[in-house]
Amino acid sequence: MESVSSAEAPAVSRANWRLVGRVALILLSILMLADFLFRGIALAFHSGKNDFSEPYVAAWLWRHGQNFADSALATSTAVRLTGYHDVIAPVYPPSTLIAVAPLTFLPWGWANFCWLLLLFAAIGVSIKLLLELADFRKWDDRALLFAAFVLTYDPIHQAFHVGNIVLLVMPVCLAGIWLAEQRRDFAAGVVLAIATLLKPQLAIWILLYYAIQGRKRVVAGAVLPPIPFAPAQFWYPVALGTILAGYRHNYQYWYGPGGPSGFTQGAVPFHVNNIQILLYQAWPNMRGVNLLAHGIFACALAIWMFALWRGKFRLPAPLAITALLSLSFISLYHSVSDTSILVLALCWAIRPDNEREPSNRSSWNWSTWDWPQKLTCGVLLLMLLPGQSVLLRVAPHLSVAVTGAWWWRLLVARYFIWLLVALDGALLAGMLRVSRRRTRTESEIQHQDPGSRADVSLAS
What's the average model confidence in pLDDT over 75-83? 94
388 — pLDDT class (breaks 50, 70, 90): confident
Residues in the chain: 460
**Rounded to 5 degrees, what angle do the CA atoms 209, 215, 221 make?**
95
| pLDDT value, residue 350 | 84
**φ, ψ of residue 117 in degrees (nearest 5):** -60, -40
User: Which residue ranges make up each domain of the chain?
Assistant: 108-235, 269-354+366-443
pLDDT digits 0-9 by tens, 104-138? 999 999 999 999 999 999 999 999 999 999 888 76
Average pLDDT value for the chain: 87
* Pure H helices in 135-239: 141-152, 154-161, 166-181, 185-198, 200-212, 216-223, 229-234
| pLDDT value, residue 263 | 87
pLDDT digits 0-9 by tens, 168-178? 999 999 999 99
* Pure H helices in 256-337: 276-282, 286-310, 317-328
Residue predicted with more confidence, 379 or 13: 379
pLDDT digits 0-9 by tens, 193-244? 999 999 999 999 999 999 999 999 999 999 999 988 777 777 899 998 999 9
Neighbours of 397 (CB within 10 A): 7
Instruction: Give the closest residue to 115 by CA, choosing from 134, 96, 93.
Output: 96
| pLDDT value, residue 14 | 64
| pLDDT value, residue 459 | 40
| pLDDT value, residue 369 | 81
| pLDDT value, residue 25 | 84
Instruction: Give the closest residue to 248 by CA, choosing from 95, 98, 88, 89.
Output: 89
Q: What is the pTM of this model?
A: 0.90
pLDDT digits 0-9 by tens, 234-247? 789 999 899 999 99
| pLDDT value, residue 270 | 78
pLDDT digits 0-9 by tens, 264-303? 887 777 777 899 999 998 899 999 999 999 999 999 999 9
460 — pLDDT class (breaks 50, 70, 90): very low
pLDDT digits 0-9 by tens, 312-363? 998 999 999 999 999 999 999 888 899 999 999 999 998 744 444 343 444 4
> What contacts 307, CB < 8 A, 6 or more positions away?
315, 428, 431, 432, 434, 435
**Distance set, CA 107 to CA 66, 213, 366 (Å):** 19, 46, 53
Neighbours of 364 (CB within 10 A): 11
Instruction: Give the closest residue to 437 by CA, choosing from 364, 354, 358.
Output: 354
| pLDDT value, residue 449 | 52
* CA trace torsion 101, 106, 109, 111 (10° rounding): -40
pLDDT digits 0-9 by tens, 435-459? 998 777 766 666 665 554 544 443 4
DSSP per-residue codes, 325-342: HHHHTTTS---GGGGGGG
Instruction: Give the closest residue to 127 by CA, choosing from 197, 178, 201.
Output: 178
| pLDDT value, residue 448 | 65
